[in-house]
Amino acid sequence: MIGVQTQSVKGTAWMTFTVEVSDSGRLNKVLGIVAGVAGVRSARRR
């Protein structure tokens, strides 16, 4: 992880993480793991 940005709007935290991965396969794996965390509403590539 090389960066994080957090914003709170009406009691909901919006967090943007900047990460470096070696290939798209690893990116998909990371997004799947993050999406599986309780409370996470979405995980996607921007």
Give the tens place of pLDDT for each residue, 23-46.
999 999 999 999 999 999 999 998
Cβ–Cβ under 8 Å, residues 6 and 13: yes
Any idea what the Cα angle at residue 2 is, between residues 37 and 5, rounded to 5°?
65
pTM for the whole thing?
A: 0.73
pLDDT digits (tens, 9 = 90+) for 15-25: 999 999 999 99
pLDDT value of position 34: 93
pLDDT digits (tens, 9 = 90+) for 5-16: 999 999 999 999
Residue (of 22, 23, 45) closest to 32 by Cα position: 45
Tell me the backbone φ, ψ of residue 14, rounded to 5 degrees.
-110, 120
DSSP secondary structure string, 17-33? EE---SSHHHHHHHHHH
